[in-house]
Structure 1
Amino acid sequence: MSADETNVNESIETSRRQYLFGAGAALGTLGLLGSAGRMAAAEDYETITVGAGETFTKNVGSGETWENKLIDISASGATYQIQADGSDWTIRNIGIVGHYEDGHTEPFRARVTDPNGTGVIENVYVAPTVGDGNATGLYVYWNHVGHIEIDRFNVQNWTDNGIYASGPGNSGSHSVPGAGGTVTIRNSYSKNNDTSNFRLGTHGSKLVNCCAAGGSSRGHWQFYESAEIVDCDLGGHTSDLALGDAVWEKSNHASLTMSNSRWETAHAHGGASTANIDGTPQGSPVDRVPDGCPTSAEEAANGSGSVQEPAPKPPTDKNLVAFVTKPDARFAAYEFRANGAVEFTEAPYESPSGGHIEGGTYTAEDFVEQIEDAWHAGGVTGGGQGDAFLVDGPVTSVSVDQPDAMWIELDGERVSANELVERTGGSDEDGDDTDEFRTLEIAGQCEYRVEVSGEIRPAEAHAKWLTEGEAYGDDWAEWWLSGSDTARTVWEFTGEITSLEIDDRVGDTELRTLAVDGKELDHGEYVDTGPHRLEIAGQCEYRIEVSGEIRPAEAHAKWLTEGTAYGDDWAEWWLSGSDEARTVWVYTGEITNLDVTDYDGVTDVRTLTVDGKSVEPSQL
Structure 2
Amino acid sequence: MARDDTARENESESSLLDRRSYLKLAGAAAASVAAAGVSSNSAKAASYETIEVSAGSTERIEVGPGETFENKLIDISADGAHFRLLTQGSDWTIRNVGVKGTNDDQDGTKATMYLRCTDGGTAVAENVYMGDGSEDRVGHAAVSDWENSGTVKIRNFHVAGWAADGMYMSHAGVSESHGMGETQIESSYLKNNNIENCRLGTPGSYIKDSVIHVEGESAVSSNESGQKNPRGLWFKEQSGMKAVNCDIKVNGSAAVMASDNGSGTVKDCRIDGDISSSVEQVNVSGSPDVSAPKGVPMTAEEAASGKGGTSGKDRSSSGESDSTDTTTGDAEQGKVFQLIADEDGVADEYQFTVDGSVSPQTDPSANMAEESDSVEKNDDGTVTVSGSAMGGFGDSFLVTGDFVSFDLNEDKWTLRYDGEEVSVSDLVLPNLLVIDGSTPNSPSSYEFSVSGEANKSAAHGSVNANDSAKDGSIAGQVYAGTDAYRFSGEITAFSLDGPANVRVEDNA
Report if TM-score (shorter chain) is over 0.5. yes
> Is 1:255 equivalent to 2:263 in the alignment?
yes
Distance 1:482 1:233, change over 3 A: closer
Q: List per-residue Cα deviations over 1:178-229 (Å, max 9, x = no partner).
A: 3211101111111111101111111100010111111532011111223111
> Is 1:223 equivalent to 2:223 in the alignment?
no
Aligned to 1:88: 91
Distance 1:241 1:203, change over 3 A: farther
Q: List per-residue Cα deviations over 1:368-393 (Å, max 9, x = no partner).
A: xxxxxxxxxxxxxxxxxxxxxxxxxx
Deviation, structure 1 residue 93 = 0.3
The answer (yes or no) to whether the contact 2:138–2:164 under 8 Å persists in 1 is: yes
Aligned to 2:327: none
Aligned to 2:75: 72
Could you tell me how far apart the structure 1 residues matched to 2:66 and 2:492 are? 58
Could you tell me how far apart the structure 1 residues matched to 2:504 and 2:478 are? 23
Aligned to 1:238: 252
Could you tell me how far apart the structure 1 residues matched to 2:251 and 2:313 are? 28
Distance 1:524 1:276, change over 3 A: farther
After TM superposition, the structure 1 stretch with the greater mean CA deviation from structure 2, 72-81 or 95-104, is 95-104
Q: Give the counterpart letter for 2:420 in structure 1.
A: D
| Aligned counterparts, 1:426-437, within 5 A | 432-434=419-421
Distance 1:431 1:242, change over 3 A: closer
Distance 1:112 1:482, change over 3 A: closer
Could you tell me how far apart the structure 2 residues matched to 1:69 and 1:225 are? 35
Deviation, structure 1 residue 230 = 0.8
The answer (yes or no) to whether the contact 1:112–1:144 under 8 Å persists in 2 is: yes
Aligned to 1:483: 477
Distance 1:11 1:263, change over 3 A: same
Could you tell me how far apart the structure 2 residues matched to 1:186 and 1:439 are? 40
The answer (yes or no) to whether the contact 1:155–1:190 under 8 Å persists in 2 is: yes
Length-normalised TM-score, structure 1: 0.48
Aligned to 1:4: 9
Deviation, structure 1 residue 509 = 8.3
Larger CA Rg, structure 1 vs 2: 1
Q: Give the counterpart letter for 2:56 in structure 1.
A: G
Distance 1:309 1:93, change over 3 A: closer
Deviation, structure 1 residue 483 = 2.2
Deviation, structure 1 residue 301 = 0.1
Deviation, structure 1 residue 41 = 3.0
After TM superposition, the structure 1 stretch with the greater mean CA deviation from structure 2, 228-237 or 196-205, is 228-237
Could you tell me how far apart the structure 1 residues matched to 2:251 and 2:67 are? 38
Q: Give the counterpart letter for 1:447 in structure 2.
A: F
| Aligned counterparts, 1:3-402, within 5 A | 3-4=8-9, 6=11, 11-12=16-17, 41-102=44-105, 103=107, 105-115=110-120, 117-131=121-135, 132-141=137-146, 143-171=147-175, 177-214=177-214, 216=217, 217-226=230-239, 227-245=241-259, 251=260, 253-266=261-274, 268=276, 274-279=277-282, 281-308=284-311
Q: Percent identity?
A: 29
The answer (yes or no) to whether the contact 1:123–1:305 under 8 Å persists in 2 is: yes
Q: List per-residue Cα deviations over 1:506-558 (Å, max 9, x = no partner).
A: 255869xxxxxxxxxxx98749x9xxxxxxxxxxxxxxxxxxxxxxxxxxxxx
Q: Secondary structure in 2 aligned to 1:93?
A: strand
After TM superposition, the structure 1 stretch with the greater mean CA deviation from structure 2, 157-166 or 103-112, is 103-112
Deviation, structure 1 residue 305 = 1.1
Q: Secondary structure in 1 aligned to 2:101?
A: strand
Deviation, structure 1 residue 69 = 0.3
Q: Secondary structure in 2 aligned to 1:183?
A: strand
Could you tell me how far apart the structure 1 residues matched to 2:207 and 2:492 are? 34
Length-normalised TM-score, structure 2: 0.57
Distance 1:210 1:118, change over 3 A: same
Q: Give the counterpart letter for 2:171 in structure 1.
A: G
Instruction: Say what the alpha-carbon RMSD is for the aligned residues.
Output: 4.2
Could you tell me how far apart the structure 2 residues matched to 1:525 and 1:71 are? 55
Q: Which runs of 5+ in 2 are unaligned?
A: 19-38, 218-229, 315-399, 401-415, 436-444, 455-464
Distance 1:501 1:89, change over 3 A: farther
Deviation, structure 1 residue 447 = 1.4
Could you tell me how far apart the structure 1 residues matched to 2:290 and 2:492 are? 34
Aligned to 1:505: 495
Could you tell me how far apart the structure 2 residues matched to 1:192 and 1:228 are? 21
Q: Secondary structure in 1 aligned to 2:114?
A: strand
Aligned to 1:447: 448
| Aligned counterparts, 1:402-421, within 5 A | none
Could you tell me how far apart the structure 1 residues matched to 2:196 and 2:299 are? 21
The answer (yes or no) to whether the contact 1:110–1:139 under 8 Å persists in 2 is: yes
Deviation, structure 1 residue 446 = 4.0
Q: Secondary structure in 2 aligned to 1:298?
A: helix
Distance 1:223 1:11, change over 3 A: same
Number of matched residues? 336
Deviation, structure 1 residue 430 = 11
Could you tell me how far apart the structure 1 residues matched to 2:296 and 2:81 are? 26
Deviation, structure 1 residue 107 = 1.9
The answer (yes or no) to whether the contact 1:40–1:304 under 8 Å persists in 2 is: no
Aligned to 2:354: none
Could you tell me how far apart the structure 2 residues matched to 1:12 and 1:503 are? 70
Deviation, structure 1 residue 125 = 0.3
Could you tell me how far apart the structure 1 residues matched to 2:12 and 2:60 are? 10
Q: Give the counterpart letter for 1:277 in structure 2.
A: E
Deviation, structure 1 residue 106 = 1.1
Could you tell me how far apart the structure 2 residues matched to 1:431 and 1:280 are? 17
The answer (yes or no) to whether the contact 2:76–2:102 under 8 Å persists in 1 is: yes
Q: Secondary structure in 2 aligned to 1:74?
A: coil
The answer (yes or no) to whether the contact 1:152–1:293 under 8 Å persists in 2 is: yes
Could you tell me how far apart the structure 2 residues matched to 1:146 and 1:185 are? 14
The answer (yes or no) to whether the contact 2:258–2:279 under 8 Å persists in 1 is: no
Q: Give the counterpart letter for 1:203 in structure 2.
A: P
The answer (yes or no) to whether the contact 2:80–2:104 under 8 Å persists in 1 is: yes
Deviation, structure 1 residue 241 = 3.1
Aligned to 2:351: none
